A and B are shown apart, each in its own frame.
Chain A
């Protein structure tokens, strides 16, 4: 039994050159694109969500404005949270497929990089 901490050691082939893969320009592009994308999407989603408790507490009059019939800004904004959350998930999934394609190339060539 090998240690659970390094499952890579269980692989029959020789260990990969991780440092070389890390330094591969294709990985560097994937990494920087992915981190930028994730950070900005995360920040956007956090800001959008926290506007709800902040708005309900400090902008109560705005939340009370009726848009049509009895439906007010507060109800619509709370419902929009669901739409936005689903939208973020949808957008992320579409974008992640592009990252998958970039990663697939690295997975395929992993054995050759740095040798």
Chain B
């Protein structure tokens, strides 16, 4: 295959939707500045395409395709892990939460870092010592290879598909919000780009795309934080400014409603630095924390990164670097989020996107000189392009993980029983990549307008309830066997998915309609003072009243649209009128269930291979004997 030509055609095909832009909807970037955004997008795409082109020459074997030949250094892998992990949800979502809800948003970010302690202590090195390309390789080491590969592959594909769908839908919505490109075009662009990276460059290109993206992300954040500090001061002064800021005080007053009446302005500002504005269900918080802390260690695309380094020591170094980068990033996010709360203000942020995702791009615009300046728009274009690169890099890692489960575990391991030539292995990997990539695009487009927030929760729930108990107990528990991991995978996955399906994550039409009806019914009462103000003759009052009227009209229109959308529909897709399980995150219940299932399954079942292989697995995972041999081809 003439890779160069194919690659160029792929790149050209990619550029097409970007150049031949369909009718532009309104995005955060003003029309006259869109060319600037495309220029920065184009530059990033060009660099990553070049990297893929160079990488493609180095990808010859399955080991190159799945694990970059084990030739990634600890430092490089640390950046790549950060690039794989810091999704748009982190870069845009957490900064957005902090900008809208203060302390609670920051607290939310902590679990994402602590998750890496689990990875560092019990997962990274043992997996490096005995693993090869996939999560199933670890399970198949001492358990029945066929059964282990089947359950491992199914769970890998399940977790990756959930996460992938959330990312694809997020990409479509995000790019539309940023620059107004149509949803479908955004999804296809992300899909084709990611396919080009993975298909031609395998893990080598994926690693470099993730490194480039992580470096850009960190640089953009540092630059923004320095600008925020220069304006609002460092730590103590900065927080004092937050408390004293009129926009922040107004936001808190709006959030707490009637309780605000007896409080002074400073007291209101202080509440922004206290817990309770966003997270109302404590058990849900603890449950989410469990899913993060145990789920990250069970994420197939994260596990896979440890097979790219040559030794357990390099795996350790890479987690240390990843923790430094990820942790540093989240600390900066505190200043980005609160900076946006002061500089941009909650109404402007939530006005474009209620979830707060536009806080960072809008902050960049404001810091660079405002919506009408070249500097502001250049900076915003840069931050938007970084967000775009972020999505593509995360999606590439997920596709690689799902494709490796299909090609390496199911096709090569189970169907062909390892009897394949090296050429066939690479071919299988590429075909699986095209399949997963195409699937991601189709799912992304068909899920348009769907509520996908629960899919990330689902991915972490399955990873923490099924994958993590199976991997941990396979590595550290002598009695663990095939029966345990099969039962654990099934119970963990079913419990996690089942609980989410009956949780408040889904849309419950009856509740939505009741809320919408309330808005419609309450509109006349809200309009009364506005009509009065409009008739008052006071110019300032009229201007404010017109704004209020527009807001009420918008809310009523949205409520009516909802009433129409769910007409004659009273139940969620599970046929429920209200949630059966009150937590959004099932981890609190499903993780213990997963562990229990592995233990019970192991005790009830006997598997001679699992027992015989224990000494070998345990000695190897602890000492690293023969570890270098595993990647030598």
Contacts and interface: CB of A to CB of B under 8 A. Distances in A.
B282 A57 contact: yes
A42 B275 contact: no
Interface residues of B, number: 66
Contact of B117 (A1, A5, A16, A89): A89
A74 B623 contact: no
Interface stretch (B210-218, B322-330, B530-538): B322-330
B548 interface: no
B547 to A, nearest CB: 31
B618 interface: yes
B273 A53 contact: no
A48 to B, nearest CB: 8
Contacts of B625: 16, 21, 103, 106-107, 110
A111 to B, nearest CB: 10
A107 B623 CA distance: 7
A22 B615 contact: yes
B293 interface: yes
A7 B618 contact: no
Contacts of A82: 110, 113, 327, 330-331
Nearest to B322: A89
B626 A11 contact: yes
Interface in B79-123: 103-104, 106-107, 110-111, 113-114, 116-118, 120-122
A4 B141 CA distance: 8
B110 A52 contact: yes
A13 to B, nearest CB: 10
Interface in A25-72: 27, 30-31, 34-35, 38, 41-42, 45-46, 49-50, 52-54, 56-58, 60, 63-64, 68-72
A49 B289 contact: yes
A93 B269 CA distance: 41
A85 to B, nearest CB: 5
B121 A4 contact: no
A53 B107 contact: yes
Given A1-B420, A49-B111, A49-B114, A70 B120 contact: no
B276 interface: yes
Contacts of B320: 89-90, 93
Contacts of B413: 4
Contact of A5 (B114, B141, B419): B141
A103 B274 CA distance: 48
B274 A60 contact: yes
A66 B433 CA distance: 54
Interface residues of A, number: 60
A83 to B, nearest CB: 9
B118 A42 contact: yes
B546 interface: no
B140 A4 contact: yes
A72 B313 CA distance: 39
B114 A85 contact: yes
B619 interface: yes
B418 interface: yes
B145 to A, nearest CB: 5
A52 to B, nearest CB: 6
B418 A3 contact: yes
Given A30-B623, A56-B285, A89-B320, A5 B313 contact: no
Contacts of B222: none
A42 B116 CA distance: 11
A30 B145 CA distance: 29
Nearest to B281: A57
A17 B485 CA distance: 27
B327 A30 contact: no
Contact of B289 (A21, A53, A85): A53
Interface in B308-363: 313, 316, 319-320, 323-324, 327, 330-331
Nearest to A97: B313
Interface string A76-101: 00110110011011101100100010
Nearest to B313: A100
A41 B331 CA distance: 23
Nearest to A19: B615
A74 B103 CA distance: 8
Contact of B419 (A1, A86, A92): A1
A34 B289 contact: no
B335 to A, nearest CB: 12
Interface stretch (B16-24, B236-244, B516-524): B236-244
B107 A45 contact: no
A74 B274 contact: yes
B81 to A, nearest CB: 13
B199 to A, nearest CB: 23
Interface string B593-633: 00000000000000000000001101110111110011000
Given A30-B622, A54-B282, A60 B276 contact: yes
Interface of A: 1-8, 10-11, 16, 18-19, 21-22, 27, 30-31, 34-35, 38, 41-42, 45-46, 49-50, 52-54, 56-58, 60, 63-64, 68-72, 74-75, 78-79, 81-82, 85-86, 88-90, 92-93, 96, 100, 103, 106-107, 110
21 contacts: A1-B419, A4-B412, A4-B413, A8-B629, A11-B626, A22-B615, A34-B622, A42-B118, A45-B114, A45-B121, A50-B286, A53-B282, A56-B275, A56-B279, A57-B275, A57-B279, A57-B282, A70-B243, A74-B274, A82-B327, A89-B319
The 5 closest A-B pairs by CB, nearest first: A57-B282, A56-B275, A53-B285, A103-B623, A18-B616
Given A18-B615, A30-B623, 19 more contacts: A3-B145, A6-B141, A8-B626, A19-B615, A27-B623, A49-B293, A53-B286, A57-B275, A57-B282, A57-B285, A70-B269, A72-B273, A75-B106, A78-B103, A79-B331, A88-B117, A89-B117, A106-B619, A106-B623
